[in-house]
Each structure stands twice: as structure tokens, then as C-alpha cells.
């Protein structure tokens, strides 16, 4: 298995609070990897490390063999041109039209002529079926359309790596399934390495080739999707079978807790 | 150690650290802003010209009516107040000197700065703050676009140009206000009022006002951007930071005014 990303001993602490506790894993190239986990398990923090918005306390993150935690801002900015990110709220610039949003990375990072940029924009928007909406502003689009426009922008520079933060959050099942299909299409057609952070099970089973599951800042599972389905790890089973967390208090403890002493 | 004393030291320590952090963040922002505005254009990272022009229109051209009206009224007020004293000694012609000098040296720049910090300073904080809240700033970073170059530099250049320009406009309109009042209510000859104004004003009076206006432009942009980038929560914090940016920029404008006035008093 060829590795696109390799994380070794990654630790993140805010003061005394440990968010990620020395995790190590690798993400295969050309596949869709889902980072799975309940709320507060550290998956958003992990994503922020992978896209370089946050520096870890210690540990290494190798992307295509280069340690991004040791890079200067300028070096990493060069690197970022090969990465695309779709944020949870799609994060389109509200002051610009959809076409200008998609054109932004091209205008900032390339020396292409304006007509060429517009052709690329239309191609990218057509890829996500938004070609009729190029002159719309983000506020005039629905949630699902905004996400697709966000994908078009992330694809603008033909990245090798694409990150998705909760792509189906806040979408109805039909729109979410449409987005999942788009993710599969991107992997199959462009052979991009895709990393998706989510907790939506239906979407995981549809798109994932490889799964990394986090719990309380630790990796509890890493492997292909079929192994996940067969896993006997109690926490994995509980997640897959949608069982609530066991009652952790004994009645005496609970009484002590509410009595405050 | 008793808990009360421990609490006191803890309080002092926490406050000190938070102040140091704020100073660090502010100086980093100032450093980055000046780097992306004055140094990086020479390293091949061009300034966003169209965005700069659009900021100039928003901050400068759109402020012309309000700056004009306020300066006109203040010119009249100054002339009236000056006449109130000068008429006792029969030296009404010196109304022109007073209006001209106080407007160009002091009131033109500061009135303009206060209007612009209310209009543009607050909008900078709100704009950057809501972009921060909607992850738009993170999106810029993830695309390899520096948010300071993208958002702050056009605003800084716009205010560095437009605040002195608005100040000149404010000086003219204020003097015009004084002239109209003197020519009508005080029965002065408009021509001799103009002559008196021109002969009383020195180039240095106008220039010191413009230097102040330039500095106020920098202060207003930095404060607005600082408060905007400090937003980490949602809509409520955007509102709070917007208010804070107006209060802080008016305060700092007056502090800088004091500094420059003292400087010019002793060194020109």
C-alpha cells in the first residue's frame, strides 16, 4: 500500500487537557479514507493538523514524505497548492460570486490569462453540476449547492489530496447521498487521495475504502472498511450499532456528584 | 499558603499572561500588515489593486457627504465661537485665522478620523470577524492565501490614502462654512476673509494635519483588523468586537493626536 499521509506519535495538548494522545496511522494513496469518531474525540483537531491550520504539541505528519510540522509558512504555502479543503460550512467567500470563488486560487497562484481561468472555472463548476450558477452569490444557494461549490473551489488547482470536514452535516439524506456520489466520482476519475472526517454511518459505508476510528484522542481502529464491519472491538461495535454510552456512574457516585462533595 | 493569597497571585498571573498575549498578537498583526503592505510587493506578491480601489470607494468616496456636512457645521460653530470673544476686542477679522488654523491643524483630521472609525473601522472588524466565524479566514489560509495580504492590506492602503484626502476636503468645507457665516451673520467681506485665511495659514499647518490623518488611517485599520481576527465564537462576539473596535480606535486616535501635537509643538 502506497502511503499519502503518515502520522507518527502525534500529541496535542491545550494546557493539561490532552486532545490527541500520541496517535500514529497512515492514509493510503488514491483511496478514500474516513476519519470516524464521536463528538469530542479529537477528529476535527486532527483534520486541522493535517491541513496545517494548527501545529501539534509534538509528533510528525509526513505528506508525500515531507514533514509538514517542520515546514516554514512559505514552504507550506507551496505545498497547500496540492491540497484542497472543503470546510463544514463550505466557507465560500460571501462577498464574491461562485465563479470568483473558484477562480480565486487560480488568480492568486497561477499566471494564467483571464479567459483560461474562466474556462477552468466553468469546467470545475460543471464537474459539480453548478454550471448554471456561476454568477450567483453563496447566500443565494442552498446548503448542498454551497458544499458542491466548495468542492469546485477545492478542485481548482487539481489537487492530489482532498480533505472534507463533515461533508453531509446539515444536509437532507438525498442531498448527502448526492455528495457521497460526487466524492466517489472524484476518487475514481481523478485518482485523488480523499480524507473525510465524519460521524455519519450511511455515508461511511458508501464512500470509505479505509477507516481510521478515534476515541478519546486514541486510534482504536485503522484498516479497510470490511475489517471495520467485522471488528469485535466493543467501542467500534457500539458506534456501528448506534448504542448509547453505558451509564458510567454507580448510584452512589451519582449522589456524590450532585451533592457536590 | 492561604487560598486568598493564592487566588490573588493567580489572578495577577492570569491577567499578566492575557495582557502579554494580546500585546504579542497585536504586534504580530502590525508586523505582518506592514510586511505585506510595504515589503512583499517588492518580492513579487502584488497588492490586490481592484480590492484596494473598492475599499477606497467604500471608506473614502462614500464618506464624502457626512464628512462634508459635519465639517461645514463645525466651521460655522468655530466661527461663531471665535466671534463671540473677538467681537469684544473689535478684532473680528481674526475669526478667519482661528477657524483656518484650528481646522487644518486639529479639527479637520480628528473629525474625519472619528467619522471614518465609526464607518470603516467598525465595518472592518465586523467583516473580518464574521469571515473568521464562518471559517472563511481558515479557507483562505488553506488555499495558501495570506489573510492579512488578502483582507488587511487593501484596507490599509485605502485608509492611508483616503484619510488625508478626506481631511483636505474637510479643511476646505470647514473654512467655507466659516466664510459663509462671517459673510452673512458677521457682515465681513468674503474676499478679505479669504485673504486673511490664506495669509494666516502656513504650509506646515496643513502638512501636520495630513501627517496626523495618515497615522489615524493606520490606527483605525489595525484596530479594526485586530478586533476582527480576535473573533473566535459566533455572531455575539462579532457584535462585541465591533463595538470594541470603535471605542478602541477613537481612544487611540486621540492618544496619537496628543502625541503628534506634542511632537509638532516642540519640533516644528
Kindly give, in sequence order, each residue whose CB lies less than 8 Å from that of residue A233, ignoring residues fewer than 6 positions away: A220, A221
| Closest CB from B131, B135, B146 relative to A87 | B135
d(CA B142, nearest CA chain A) in Å: 7
| Closest CB from B135, B140, B144 relative to A81 | B144
Do B138 and A91 make contact, defined as CB atoms within 8 angstroms?
A: yes
Q: Tell me the pLDDT tens digit for each residue of B95-154.
A: 999 999 999 999 999 999 999 999 999 999 999 999 999 889 999 999 989 999 999 999
CA proximity to B264, closest of B200, B197, B215: B215
- Cβ–Cβ under 8 Å, residues B152 and B255: no
DSSP run (H or E) holding B194:
helix B190-200
Do B141 and A53 make contact, defined as CB atoms within 8 angstroms?
A: yes
Kindly give, in sequence order, each residue whose CB lies less than 8 Å from that of residue B122, ignoring residues fewer than 6 positions away: B224, B242, B243, B245, B246
For residue A109, list chain B residues with Cβ-Cβ distance below 8 A: 144
- Cβ–Cβ under 8 Å, residues B224 and B125: yes
C-alpha A112: how far from chain center:
29
Q: What are phi and psi of A68, to 5 degrees?
A: -75, -20
Q: Does B22 touch chain A (CB under 8 A)?
A: no
- Which pLDDT value is given to residue A248? 67
d(CA B134, nearest CA chain A) in Å: 6
Do B141 and A89 make contact, defined as CB atoms within 8 angstroms?
A: no
SS3 state at A31: coil
Q: Does B187 touch chain A (CB under 8 A)?
A: no
For residue B138, list chain A residues with Cβ-Cβ distance below 8 A: 53, 87, 91
Q: What are phi and psi of A223, to 5 degrees?
A: 170, 180
| Closest CB from B134, B141, B143 relative to A104 | B143
Q: Tell me the pLDDT tens digit for each residue of B178-236.
A: 999 999 988 889 999 999 999 999 998 899 999 999 999 999 999 999 999 999 888 88
Overall average pLDDT of the A213-236 stretch? 87
Do B142 and A108 make contact, defined as CB atoms within 8 angstroms?
A: no
pLDDT-derived band at A37, boundaries 50, 70, 90:
confident
DSSP run (H or E) holding A179:
helix A173-190
Q: Domain segments of chain B: what residues?
A: 51-267
- Which pLDDT value is given to residue B216? 95
Do B135 and A83 make contact, defined as CB atoms within 8 angstroms?
A: no
Most distant pair of Cα atoms in chain B: their distance: 80
Backbone angle region of A241, left / alpha / beta, with phi > 0 → left and psi within -120 to 50 → alpha: alpha
- Which pLDDT value is given to residue B227? 94
- Cβ–Cβ under 8 Å, residues B153 and B32: no
Q: Tell me the pLDDT tens digit for each residue of A180-211.
A: 998 998 889 888 999 999 888 888 888 999 99
- Cβ–Cβ under 8 Å, residues B175 and B200: no
Mean pLDDT estimate for chain B = 92
Q: Does B143 touch chain A (CB under 8 A)?
A: yes
**Under an 8 Å CB criterion, which residues of A touch B?**
51-53, 77-78, 80-81, 83, 85, 87-89, 91-94, 104-105, 108-109, 153
Amino acid at each position: 500500500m502506497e502511503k499519502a499521509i503518515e502520522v507518527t506519535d502525534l500529541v496535542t495538548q491545550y494546557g493539561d487537557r490532552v486532545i490527541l494522545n500520541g496517535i500514529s496511522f497512515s492514509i493510503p494513496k488514491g483511496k478514500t479514507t474516513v476519519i470516524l469518531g464521536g463528538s469530542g474525540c479529537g477528529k476535527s483537531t486532527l483534520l486541522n493538523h493535517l491541513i496545517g491550520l494548527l501545529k501539534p504539541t509534538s509528533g510528525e505528519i509526513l505528506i508525500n514524505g515531507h514533514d509538514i510540522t517542520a515546514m516554514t509558512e512559505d514552504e507550506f504555502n507551496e505545498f497547500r497548492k496540492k491540497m484542497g479543503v472543503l470546510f463544514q460550512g463550505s466557507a465560500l467567500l460571501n462577498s464574491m460570486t461562485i465563479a470568483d470563488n473558484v477562480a480565486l486560487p487560480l488568480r492568486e497562484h497561477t499566471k494564467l490569462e483571464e479567459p483560461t481561468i474562466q474556462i477552468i472555472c466553468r469546467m470545475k463548476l460543471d464537474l459539480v453540476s453548478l454550471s448554471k450558477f456561476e454568477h450567483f452569490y453563496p447566500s443565494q444557494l442552498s446548503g448542498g449547492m454551497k458544499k458542491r461549490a466548495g468542492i469546485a473551489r477545492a478542485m481548482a488547482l487539481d489537487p492530489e489530496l482532498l480533505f472534507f470536514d463533515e461533508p453531509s452535516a446539515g444536509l437532507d439524506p438525498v442531498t448527502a447521498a448526492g455528495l457521497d456520489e460526487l466524492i466517489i466520482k472524484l476518487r475514481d476519475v481523478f485518482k485523488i487521495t480523499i480524507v473525510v472526517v465524519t460521524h455519519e454511518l450511511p455515508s461511511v459505508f458508501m464512500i470509505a475504502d479505509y477507516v481510521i476510528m478515534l476515541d478519546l484522542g486514541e486510534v482504536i481502529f485503522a484498516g479497510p472498511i470490511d475489517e471495520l464491519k467485522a471488528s469485535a472491538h466493543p467501542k467500534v461495535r457500539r458506534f456501528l450499532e448506534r448504542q448509547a454510552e453505558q451509564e458510567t456512574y454507580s448510584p452512589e457516585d451519582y449522589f456524590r456528584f450532585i451533592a457536590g462533595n | 499558603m492561604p487560598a486568598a493569597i493564592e487566588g490573588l497571585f493567580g489572578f495577577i498571573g492570569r491577567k499578566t499572561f492575557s495582557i502579554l498575549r494580546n500585546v504579542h498578537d497585536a504586534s504580530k498583526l502590525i508586523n505582518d500588515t506592514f510586511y505585506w503592505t510595504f515589503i512583499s510587493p517588492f518580492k513579487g506578491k502584488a497588492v490586490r489593486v481592484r480590492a484596494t480601489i473598492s475599499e477606497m470607494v467604500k471608506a473614502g468616496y462614500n464618506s464624502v457627504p457626512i464628512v462634508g456636512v459635519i465639517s461645514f457645521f463645525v466651521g460655522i460653530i468655530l466661527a461663531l465661537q471665535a466671534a463671540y470673544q473677538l467681537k469684544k476686542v473689535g478684532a473680528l477679522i481674526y475669526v478667519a485665522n482661528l477657524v483656518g488654523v484650528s481646522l487644518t491643524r486639529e479639527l479637520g483630521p480628528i473629525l474625519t478620523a472619528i467619522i471614518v472609525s465609526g464607518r470603516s473601522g467598525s465595518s472592518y472588524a465586523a467583516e473580518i470577524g464574521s469571515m473568521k466565524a464562518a471559517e472563511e479566514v481558515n479557507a483562505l489560509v488553506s488555499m495558501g492565501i495570506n489573510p492579512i495580504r488578502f483582507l488587511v492590506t487593501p484596507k490599509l492602503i485605502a485608509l492611508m490614502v483616503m484619510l488625508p484626502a478626506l481631511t483636505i476636503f474637510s479643511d476646505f468645507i470647514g473654512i467655507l462654512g466659516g466664510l459663509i457665516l462671517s459673510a452673512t451673520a458677521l457682515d465681513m467681506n468674503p474676499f478679505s476673509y479669504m485673504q486673511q485665511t490664506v495669509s494666516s495659514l502656513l504650509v506646515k499647518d496643513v502638512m501636520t494635519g495630513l501627517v496626523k490623518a495618515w497615522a489615524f488611517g493606520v490606527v483605525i485599520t489595525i484596530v479594526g483588523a485586530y478586533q476582527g481576527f480576535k473573533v473566535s465564537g459566533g455572531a455575539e462576539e462579532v457584535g462585541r468586537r465591533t463595538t470594541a473596535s470603535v471605542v478602541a480606535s477613537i481612544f487611540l486616535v486621540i492618544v496619537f493626536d496628543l502625541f503628534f501635537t506634542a511632537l509638532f509643538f516642540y519640533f516644528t
